[in-house]
């Protein structure tokens, strides 16, 4: 059993890998000189590998075919009208087609096809131009054939290969002869994944994908929307007229931006000019598509509010503030008139009333960092305003190599299948690799780069199963296989990893296989391994060291901070805006992907997380507890030699007190040197044991995956509520004990217990007199010898100071 547990635990560990990266190739295989265009089949088959700017990934070779346009196409022989042309590119058993045009004699496509070297099945590339037939039997117009041995090799930053016109030839007769059927402009070359055409190309690896799913398999880079805090200071309103005469209005202001709604407090004053002077803060994104809608309402009853006035303001109306010092001018805004609809003689007319005004001071705050991710895993700390950015201190390069052992996520044709892609998020830049269709060991070999402005940040990389592949995406997502069904609507999570940049050594390439760990309702599960190559390069060591002396967040977070409740609400609003904006890209980065990468559920209640955090807190005190146990053993003379050495050290430090601080720092210096040989050699990764995921109870897992509000039956909710009350009761007791000790400390001089305070005051007087007339060395020596006294001089009863402190009163007596 122990061996199985060790093997199971080892399965979740980080593993070293030795990929053949670009910079590690032998000189004979990838020399610094670039091969001339026309390298031919030798370069295609790997006999003479060209150099590449991608040095953190294994180079992959592709045959690229750019279909640009056609001209002088013959008419349809049956109808005499222009044909409906499209192009078919064929290499072995792989075939890609362009879109077709209706009745176009000179069509333009400008579409690129990429065929992977690892799946080459032919030495000839065939390009056909066909006429689409409504019956289904497309007419063959002509073709162009290329010998792969004559295809040139191109490596960026070489200029793109210029396309050429090729004559479309149709063979006729049994004896021979060819007929020219127009011309087709093509460019054919051999390149790597560093080619500019790679992201937009149709890939043979995804040849089964059809329709709208084609866009979702391509690699893309995304940029998060630029987020601002909109601060609206509601000062006052003027001439507020209630709809019901004879009563004082209870007025409040409601502000709305998009789906964000905030309200001021209710002013229950008998006045038509109420004042609030309250700040309402929203998250908005550029370009500013929403508007600020301010309404003044009257609280008639707890369930009814009367609208008294309304104003709609574009966000571009407000100035952008880059610091707290510029004073923002307030402005009056007229509220839209409101009225009462009355019916007179069958006709409806509107009785207009007097319009009131509202006094606002609003601005867009550019000196804050708008947090759209958990502060524990923050990847960017820059303020919104670009003018306040500091120069970068480093460059982060990540090579997403491959994955291995991925679990089947859906059923396709009766077999388990996974269509995996990776998403990496750091700062404002998101990247998405191409989707590898139907394989449990996908190979991406894509490299991405980010500027680093603060090393105390985290990059997050997630792996997902693509469930939006059009006709090829049939099957259902069941997190590890299952029966057929309707196409899933959400991309499934496979796992994610986090890497804190400050844990990486500069200019070192880390090549590891990270376990992809997913917590499911049935328990923790390893979904596979993700292989990465990571390098953090420092641009300025002085600037990086200087950053460690600076606050983590911009100055405004400390000069005019938000409350914890405000920050939490604003973070959820920011996450929603980022998910909505990225979901409008093409292909969309879907909401479930964005929320998983941003840890939208990290603050939800979980018994498992509570246990994990409790044991994390306990481990913090393990060193102090070990030191206390060691000192107790010294005081109890369990090791006479150690106690004697402590006595000698005590005498030295007392007779030479100037050596105390140097000794402490020298001790920490030697401890640091001693720990250097045991320093961590690998980046941190997901730890199932520390997360308390291996021994979690099934019911606690079910509670963690429950919806909010709950969807479970009443008896289950009752049981969980009682358990939560039990845990909260213990926490309440601990917090109460801590508060009691602090209140007892305060009561020493508060005269809450006059006798105890009197005793303590006279003790302080006597101690002051003794310390004035007695040398400090004598006092320290007596105190040290008293602490180190032999056990025969000790009593098992509590000490006098402890007894005195425990008798002090606290405010717990006033608790109901």
Q: What is the mean pLDDT of residues 546-569?
A: 89
Q: How confident is the model at residue 55 (pLDDT cuts 50, 70, 90)?
A: confident
Q: Token pair of 759, please?
A: 């005793």
Q: What per-residue confidence (pLDDT) applies to 22?
A: 64
Q: Give the pLDDT confidence of 137-196 residue by residue, as tens digits.
A: 667 788 899 988 888 888 777 788 899 999 887 755 444 445 667 889 999 999 888 888
Residue 280 above 70 pLDDT?
A: yes
Which of 171-185, 458-472, 585-599, 712-726 comes out lowest in average pLDDT?
Answer: 171-185
**Contact of 423 with 494, CB cutoff 8 Å:** no
Q: pLDDT confidence of 429, banded at 50, 70, 90?
A: very high
Distance CA 271, CA 766 (A): 63
Give the pLDDT of residue 161: 87
pLDDT category at 399 given cuts 50, 70, 90 is very high
Number of C-beta neighbours around residue 485 at 10 A: 13
* Mean pLDDT over the full length of the chain: 80
Residue % of the chain over a pLDDT of 90? 26
State the CB neighbour count (10 A cutoff) for residue 816. Answer: 2
Average pLDDT of the segment spanning 770-781: 82
- In Å, how far from its chain's centre is CA 411? 29
Taking alpha carbons only, the member of 281, 282, 288, 280 closest to residue 225 is: 288
Helix or strand or coil: residue 398?
Answer: strand
Q: How are beta strands 108-116 and 202-203 bridged, if at all?
A: parallel
Per-residue pLDDT of 792-804, as tens digits, reads 787 777 778 887 8
Bridge partners of 422?
463
pLDDT tens digit string along 617-630?
777 777 778 888 88
Decide: helix, strand or coil at residue 722.
helix
Radius of gyration of the chain (CA): 36
**Residues 6+ positions from 148 with CB-CB distance below 8 Å:** 40, 41, 44, 63, 120, 122, 123, 124, 125
pLDDT above 90: residue 229: yes
Which two three-digit tokens encode residue 98? 């362009």
Using CA atoms, how far residue 344 sits from 138, 340, 350, 437, in Å, is 71, 12, 11, 70
Residue with tokens 């122990």: 2
Tokens of 52: 């590449």
Closest CA to 110 of 100, 98, 102: 98
CA distance 662 to 601: 47
Cα–Cα dist 120/786, whole Å: 85
Q: How confident is the model at residue 420 (pLDDT cuts 50, 70, 90)?
A: very high
Cβ neighbours of residue 345 closer than 8 Å, sequence gap 6 or more: none
Residue 578 has pLDDT above 90, yes or no: yes
Tens-place pLDDT, residues 662-716: 787 787 788 888 888 887 777 777 777 777 677 777 777 777 777 777 778 888 8
pLDDT at 386: 92
Q: What is the mean pLDDT of residues 469-486?
A: 48
Quickly state the pLDDT bin for 264 (edges 50, 70, 90): very high
770 contact partners, CB below 8 Å, separation of at least 6: 779
- Beta carbons within 8 Å of 313's beta carbon, 6+ residues apart: 291, 292, 293, 294, 333, 362
Angstrom distance (rounded) from CA 654 to CA 656? 5
Instruction: Give the C-alpha separation, 65 to 47, whole Å.
Output: 22
Other CB atoms within a 10 A radius of the CB of residue 743 amount to 16
pLDDT tens-digit profile of 17-51?
878 776 443 333 333 333 333 334 334 444 343 33
- Determine contact, residues 456/502, Cβ cutoff 8 Å: yes
Cβ atoms of residues 217 and 277 within 8 Å = no
> Please, is 752 exposed, middle or buried when counting C-beta atoms within 10 Å of its C-beta (0-12, 13-18, 19+)?
middle
291-314 pLDDT per residue, tens: 999 998 888 887 888 888 889 999
Check residues 227 and 14 and name the one with the higher pLDDT.
Answer: 227
Which is it for the CA torsion 709, 712, 716, 720, positive or negative? negative
* Both tokens assigned to 71: 């001209």
| Interatomic CA distance for residues 567 and 262, integer angstroms | 14
Cβ atoms of 353 and 339 closer than 8 Å: yes
Chain centroid offset of residue 474 CA: 29
Q: Which residue, 288, 293, 295, 290, is CA-closest to 319?
A: 288
Q: How far is CA 96 from CA 63, 207, 420, 425, 473, in A?
A: 13, 7, 22, 32, 18
Nearest Cα neighbor of 446 from 71, 14, 56 is 56
Do the Cβ atoms of 193 and 446 come closer than 8 Å? yes
pLDDT digits (tens, 9 = 90+) for 161-178: 899 999 887 755 444 445
How many residues are there in the chain?
Answer: 816
pLDDT over 60 at 478, yes or no: no
| More confident position, 13 or 10 | 13
Whether the per-residue pLDDT at 380 is higher than 80: the answer is: yes
- With bands split at pLDDT 50, 70 and 90, how would you rate the model's confidence at 80? low
How wide is the angle at C-alpha 56 spanned by C-alphas 55 and 58, nearest 5°? 85
Token couple for 393 = 């201190």
Question: Exposed (0-12), middle (13-18) or buried (19+): which is 725, by Cβ within 10 Å?
Answer: exposed
By CB atoms closer than 10 A (0-12, 13-18, 19+), residue 665 is exposed
Residue 100 CB contacts under 8 Å (≥ 6 apart), including other chains? 84, 85, 86, 132
768 pLDDT above the threshold of 60: yes
For residue 68, give both structure tokens: 């640009």
Q: Which residue has the higher pLDDT, 239 or 497?
A: 497
| Confidence band for 13, pLDDT divided at 50, 70 and 90 | confident
Among 740, 815, 726, 329, residue whose Cα is nearest residue 718: 726
Structure tokens at 187: 């460019």
C-beta neighbour count of 192 within 10 angstroms = 25
User: Which tokens sit at 80?
Assistant: 């005499």
Question: Which residue has tokens 């003689």?
Answer: 345
**pLDDT confidence of residue 460:** 94
Whole-angstrom Cα distance, residue 575 to residue 591? 10
| pLDDT of amino acid 143 | 87
Q: Which residue has the tokens 């006595």?
A: 647
Contact 159, 92 (CB under 8 A): no
User: What pLDDT, on a 0 to 100 scale, did the predictor assign at position 480?
Assistant: 41
Q: Which of 530, 511, 423, 445 has the alpha carbon at shortest distance from 57?
A: 445
User: Which residues 6+ apart lie within 8 Å of 710 measured at CB?
Assistant: 717
Q: Which two tokens stand for residue 402?
A: 């491959």
- What does the pLDDT read at residue 39? 38
Which residues lie below 8 Å from residue 637, measured CB to CB, with a gap of 6+? 643, 790, 791
For residue 219, give every residue at least 6 positions away whose Cβ sits within 8 Å of its Cβ, in sequence order, or none. 198, 199, 431, 432, 433, 434, 446
Q: Which of 249-263, 347-361, 484-498 has the highest mean pLDDT?
A: 249-263
Q: How far from the centroid of its chain's Cα atoms is residue 552's Cα?
A: 18
Per-residue model confidence (pLDDT) at position 612: 78
Element of type H or E holding 66: strand 61-71
Burial, 389: exposed, middle or buried (Cβ in 10 Å; 0-12, 13-18, 19+)?
exposed
As a whole number of angstroms, the distance between CA 242 and CA 244 comes to 5
List pLDDT tens digits, range 645-654: 888 888 888 8
């Amino acid at each position: 059993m122990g061996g199985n547990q060790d093997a199971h635990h080892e399965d979740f560990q980080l593993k070293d890998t030795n990929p053949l990266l670009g910079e590690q190739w032998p000189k004979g295989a990838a020399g610094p000189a670039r091969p001339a265009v026309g390298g031919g089949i030798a370069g295609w088959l790997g006999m003479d590998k060209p150099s590449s700017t991608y040095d953190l990934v294994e180079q992959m070779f592709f045959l690229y075919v750019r279909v640009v346009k056609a001209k002088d196409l013959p008419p349809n022989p049956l109808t005499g009208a222009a044909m409906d042309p499209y192009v078919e590119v064929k290499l072995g058993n792989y075939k890609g087609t362009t879109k077709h045009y209706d009745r176009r004699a000179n069509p333009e496509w400008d579409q690129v096809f990429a065929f992977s070297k690892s799946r080459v099945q032919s030495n000839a590339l065939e390009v056909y131009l066909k006429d689409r037939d409504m019956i289904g039997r497309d007419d063959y117009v002509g073709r162009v054939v290329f010998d792969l041995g004559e295809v040139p090799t191109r490596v960026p930053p070489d200029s793109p290969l210029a396309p050429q016109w090729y004559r479309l030839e149709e063979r006729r007769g049994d004896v021979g002869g060819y007929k020219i059927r127009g011309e087709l402009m093509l460019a054919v070359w051999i390149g790597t994944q560093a080619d500019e055409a790679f992201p937009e190309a149709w890939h043979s690896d995804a040849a089964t994908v059809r329709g709208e799913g084609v866009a979702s398999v391509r690699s893309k880079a995304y940029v998060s929307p630029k987020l601002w805090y909109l601060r609206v200071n509601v000062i006052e309103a003027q001439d507020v007229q209630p709809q019901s005469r004879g009563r004082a209005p209870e007025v409040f202001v409601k502000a709305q931006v998009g789906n964000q709604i905030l309200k001021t407090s209710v002013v229950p004053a008998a006045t038509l000019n109420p004042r609030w002077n309250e700040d309402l803060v929203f998250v908005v994104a550029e370009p500013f598509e929403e508007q600020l809608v301010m309404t003044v309402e009257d609280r008639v009853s707890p369930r009814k509010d009367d609208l008294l006035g309304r104003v709609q303001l574009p966000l571009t109306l407000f100035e952008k503030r880059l610091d707290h010092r510029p004073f923002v001018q307030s402005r009056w805004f007229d509220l839209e008139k409101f009225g009462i609809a009355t019916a007179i003689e069958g006709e409806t007319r509107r009785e207009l009333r007097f319009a009131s005004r509202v006094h606002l001071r609003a601005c867009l705050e550019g000196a804050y960092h708008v947090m759209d991710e958990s502060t524990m895993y923050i990847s960017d700390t820059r303020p919104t305003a670009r003018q306040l950015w500091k120069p970068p201190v480093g460059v982060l390069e990540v090579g997403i190599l491959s994955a291995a052992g991925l679990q089947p996520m859906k059923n396709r044709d009766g077999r388990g299948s996974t269509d995996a892609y990776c998403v990496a998020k750091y700062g404002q830049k998101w990247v998405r690799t191409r989707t590898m269709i139907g394989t449990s060991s996908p190979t991406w070999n894509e490299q991405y780069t980010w500027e680093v402005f603060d090393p105390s940040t985290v990059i997050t990389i997630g792996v997902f199963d693509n469930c939006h592949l059009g006709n090829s995406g049939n099957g259902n997502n069941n997190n590890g296989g299952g029966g057929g069904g309707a196409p899933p609507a959400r991309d499934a999570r496979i796992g994610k990893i986090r890497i804190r940049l400050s844990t990486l050594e500069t200019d070192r390439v880390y090549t590891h296989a990270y376990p992809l760990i997913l917590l499911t309702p049935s328990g923790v599960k390893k979904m596979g391994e993700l292989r990465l190559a990571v390098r953090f390069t420092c641009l300025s060591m002085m600037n990086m060291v200087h950053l460690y002396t600076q606050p983590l967040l911009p100055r405004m977070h400390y000069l005019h901070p938000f409350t914890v409740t405000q920050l939490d609400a604003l973070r959820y609003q920011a996450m929603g805006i980022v998910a909505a904006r990225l979901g409008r890209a093409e292909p969309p980065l879907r909401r479930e992907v964005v929320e998983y990468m941003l840890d939208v559920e990290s603050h939800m209640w979980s018994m498992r997380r509570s246990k994990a955090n409790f044991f994390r807190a306990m481990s913090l005190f393990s060193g102090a507890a070990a030191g206390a146990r060691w000192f107790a053993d010294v005081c109890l003379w369990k090791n006479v030699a150690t106690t004697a050495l402590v006595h000698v050290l005590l005498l030295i430090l007392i007779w030479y007190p100037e050596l105390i601080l140097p000794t402490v720092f020298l001790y920490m210096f030697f401890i640091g040197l001693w720990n250097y040989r045991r320093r961590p050699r690998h980046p941190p990764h997901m730890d199932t044991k520390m997360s308390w995921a291996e021994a979690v109870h099934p019911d606690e897992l079910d509670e963690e995956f429950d919806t909010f509000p709950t969807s479970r039956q009443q008896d289950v909710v009752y049981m969980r509520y009682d358990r939560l009350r039990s845990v909260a009761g213990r926490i309440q007791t601990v917090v109460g004990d801590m508060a009691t000790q602090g209140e007892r400390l305060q009561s020493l001089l508060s005269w809450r217990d006059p006798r105890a305070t009197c005793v303590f005051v006279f003790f302080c007087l006597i101690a002051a007199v003794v310390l004035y007339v007695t040398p400090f060395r004598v006092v320290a020596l007596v105190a040290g010898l008293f602490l180190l006294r032999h056990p025969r001089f000790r009593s098992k009863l509590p000490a006098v100071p402890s007894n005195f402190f425990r008798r002090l009163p606290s405010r717990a007596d006033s608790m109901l």
